[in-house]
Structure 1
Amino acid sequence: MSSLSRLLRGSGTFNTCTIRRFSSAASETTAAISPPKKSLSSIVNEERNPKRIVDKFKTACESERFRANIAVYDRTVRRLVAAKRLHFVEEILEEQKKYPEMSKEGFAARIISLYGKAGLVENARKVFDEMPERNCKRTAMSFNALLSAYGVSKRFDVVEQLFNDLPDKLSIEPDIVSYNTLIKALCEKGSLSEAVALLREIENEGLKPDIITFNTLLLSSYLKGEFEQGEEIWAEMREKDVARDIRSYNARLLGLANETKSEELVSLFEELKASGIKPDVYSFNAMIRGSINQGKMEEAKGWYKEIVKQGYRPDKATLALLLPALCKAEDFGCAIELCKETFSKRYLVGQTTLQQLVDELVKGGKRREAEEIVEIAKDNDFLKFKLELSSQLIS
């Protein structure tokens, strides 16, 4: 081969490599300046129009990876329920039946649960009943999803009926989640004694009550004024060495506050802190309630300040406790200041609470101040309320 030929071949090789390098660099530069491609989840989440949400969701469902995204399914259903578009919820969930995942119990249980969150319990039951047709075995997992679907829809009698009928009929072994769902349903329907009796049945079935079991029974007992029953459950938790969490403590704090057991209330609050669990806004609300029940308004205001000091925001319950109590104690100045702070700091407050405040101000001869609250409630840029003043609607 001649020198010229070798040179030309070398030049050709050099040029080809150089072009490749420039091409590669150009591609990298283009990739660097191109906007990142949005994920299917983002495309669905960012849509605001309900119909377009449905269309984009159904298109995204063609991706197996998208169908594995539990969070986006849950978020989409919640958004459609909030928009009162239950027919759209049904449309996107029925669409799932064409995918192979419906033969997997975990996926079917998810669809049952989502139907329950939308209150479409008949659809949830249909999915459960159709599982054998898809060669999908029904175990406690899908059974629990069905119980929960009826529970969140407040069909408590049906939860009890399903629990009594389906396990033997379908050879399903209820687990602790099944029992916890039944216990909650019984508590919600006012059958506390039946719920408590299940503690023994759970143990007889070789299962172990967990923190959810005890917390459900604790809160229901104290809320319904069954203080002694609550104390027995609290003692059983200690006896069985069940680690108590913030929900356990908050339930008993509420019970003690309602019974005006001030010394035990403060003692339990100190025990809560010593346990390494941080009190939350519900803990402080219980302390406020206890102080109010004892007529110790300065102490109640101190607990309110602790909420903010600990980095929490007062909630509706906090203000529903404090505002009427301050008016009853004729501490109108503090009540007005607290109300204004509520709007300036954008705390959530209920209209009933504000109306009580306005009524009490008028009764207490503070009509001008009441009018000011009515105007703030009407004109603020956070939560707008139409409050009544002297039986006339201010609008």
Structure 2
Amino acid sequence: MASPAAASPARRLASIFSSTKPRARPPKPAPEPTQAPKAPAGQSGSKPDERRESRDLNKILKVIFRERDPDKLVSRFIAESTASERFRDKHRVYEVAVFRLVSFGRHDAIAAIIDSQKPFIEASNVGFAARLIRLCGRASMPSHAAAIFHDLPPKHKSHMTFNALLAAYVDASDFDALATAFQHILASHPTIVPTVYSYNILISALCQKPDLSAALDVITLMEKRGLTPDIISFKTLLNGFYNNDRFDDAEKVWDMIKERNVVPDAKIYYNAKLRGLVSQGRVEDAVALIERMQKEGPKPDSVSYNELIRGYCKEGRLNEAKKVYDDLIKNECTPNSGTFHTLVPHFLEAGELDRALSCCHEIFSRKCRVQCSLLQGVVTALIADQGWRRLGGSFILEGRTTILENV
């Protein structure tokens, strides 16, 4: 029988999990009247059919979401997507299927799913083609994304699919191929007109190279083509220079920002500098910058505090990181997914299970979106701990969240 001391934390954990709302279920259709009114002449009773089709589709989606056998997942997915246009409109099921197959290391299965959708591209809108390209990038299959783009019908070769291909290269961290594709595709497809978003992706890729001058040249190129760089353009440059310890060049970028009156909030500049200082291991300089912001403005926000928390955690100074978290709350900032993704793993590593559990409570109470793996790590650590092992069954049965799957 569990001791009272052990039962208390178990009840706390159970209360957190049991307070989590179950996954949303489609509302039950209202019961049909005993005698349905007759449809007017020339109209068929389509609404009951639509409701029935919707119920059937929801059942199919649930089956696919719960499928853990990769081969069955692929065969069911292909069969249903081939049979139903409404199925092909469900973005989420595509993402779940691909991400799950990535976790199994089944790139062959992902290719099978993507290739099975090619016959529907011609009759679909450009968004469907862009979605397939992005999924390839998220599965680290940039060559597959490029093949889809090059095989697209002319009507679908637009800035939307072009941007999707660039983003796919970024997702796969293939920055050299991105820079090459940017140049060659625009040269061979003059009807594709890049947008500010296109150039921002290019800047992000060039900031991964040792020589950042090419990234800075993109600003000039954009302006020559009649486009106005936005805050994302300059923010990406600032992060690139700061992360490469080129603080003097970052100051020049900041001068460009002020000349163009682009930045409405100086926090973007300070947070980029904080990120650079932390990346270079200059935590004390980051602390000084936070103190300067507190005295002179702009006031630090959640991003500012998250960078300092990350710096302390990198150096193993967990007590200081906890104090910064307390300051974040005290100064009426809101902890976000970045806060918890930094702190929780370090709490687990240090064996501070109560603090990790407290973070879980904050995540749920604030309805903060985090990766399931983060919460799963807390559950696994609690079960592995001797004080919780005896009580494992009681709170596993009470759990109603995806973090308890496969425990």
TM-score range, shorter chain: 0.5 to 0.7
1:85 aligned to which of 93, 97, 106: 106
1:153 aligned to which of 167, 172, 187: 172
Q: How far apart in 2 are the matches of 1:140 and 1:229?
A: 31
Contact residue 104 and residue 136 of structure 1 kept, 8 A:
no
Corresponding residue of 1:63: 84
The answer as to 2:123 corresponding to 1:110 is no
- What is the CA-CA distance between 1:82 and the residue it aligns to? 1.6
- What is the CA-CA distance between 1:279 and the residue it aligns to? 2.3
1:123 aligned to which of 131, 144, 150: 144
Q: How far apart in 2 are the matches of 1:46 and 1:247?
A: 41
Match of 2:193, SS state, is coil
The answer as to 2:214 corresponding to 1:201 is no
Cα gap change, 1:164/1:263 in structure 2, threshold over 3 Å: closer, same or farther? same
The answer as to 2:364 corresponding to 1:339 is no
Q: How far apart in 1 are the matches of 2:196 and 2:103?
A: 31
Q: How far apart in 1 are the matches of 2:310 and 2:110?
A: 41
**Residues 153-192 of structure 1 mapped to structure 2, 5 A cutoff:** 153-171=172-190, 172-192=192-212
Contact residue 344 and residue 356 of structure 2 kept, 8 A:
no
Corresponding residue of 1:239: 259
Structure 1 length as normaliser, TM-score? 0.65
1:305 aligned to which of 302, 310, 326: 326
Contact residue 262 and residue 290 of structure 1 kept, 8 A:
no
Cα gap change, 1:238/1:341 in structure 2, threshold over 3 Å: closer, same or farther? farther
- What is the CA-CA distance between 1:158 and the residue it aligns to? 1.1
Corresponding residue of 2:301: 279
Instruction: Note the alpha carbon deviations across 1:291-316, whole angstroms, 9 max, x for none.
Output: 899xx998755313234665537445
Corresponding residue of 2:290: 265
Contact residue 267 and residue 298 of structure 2 kept, 8 A:
no
Q: How far apart in 2 are the matches of 1:340 and 1:150?
A: 39
Corresponding residue of 2:405: none
1:230 aligned to which of 233, 238, 250: 250
Match of 1:188, SS state, is coil
- What is the CA-CA distance between 1:53 and the residue it aligns to? 2.1
2:71 aligned to which of 46, 51, 71: 51
Match of 2:261, SS state, is coil
Match of 1:37, SS state, is helix
Corresponding residue of 1:37: 55
Instruction: Note the alpha carbon deviations across 1:144-173, whole angstroms, 9 max, x for none.
Output: 222222222122111111112221222132
Q: How far apart in 1 are the matches of 2:313 and 2:156?
A: 55
Cα gap change, 1:44/1:148 in structure 2, threshold over 3 Å: closer, same or farther? same
Q: How far apart in 1 are the matches of 2:117 and 2:236?
A: 34
Corresponding residue of 2:25: none
Instruction: Note the alpha carbon deviations across 1:161-204, whole angstroms, 9 max, x for none.
Output: 11122212221322212211111111123332211221111111
2:87 counterpart letter in structure 1: F
- What is the CA-CA distance between 1:339 and the residue it aligns to? 3.4
Q: How far apart in 2 are the matches of 1:79 and 1:376?
A: 25
Instruction: Note the alpha carbon deviations across 1:310-332, whole angstroms, 9 max, x for none.
Output: 55374454579999xxxxxxxxx
Q: Bigger CA drift: 303-312 or 219-228?
A: 303-312
Cα gap change, 1:297/1:185 in structure 2, threshold over 3 Å: closer, same or farther? closer
Cα gap change, 1:128/1:301 in structure 2, threshold over 3 Å: closer, same or farther? closer
Corresponding residue of 1:76: 97
The answer as to 2:212 corresponding to 1:212 is no
1:339 counterpart letter in structure 2: E
Q: Could you say which structure has the larger radius of gyration?
A: 1
Instruction: Give unmatched runs, 5+ long, in structure 2.
Output: 1-32, 38-47, 361-369, 371-380, 390-407
Cα gap change, 1:292/1:160 in structure 2, threshold over 3 Å: closer, same or farther? closer
Q: How many residues align?
A: 309
Q: How far apart in 2 are the matches of 1:125 and 1:159?
A: 10
Q: How far apart in 2 are the matches of 1:151 and 1:60?
A: 30
RMSD: 4.0
Contact residue 256 and residue 262 of structure 1 kept, 8 A:
no
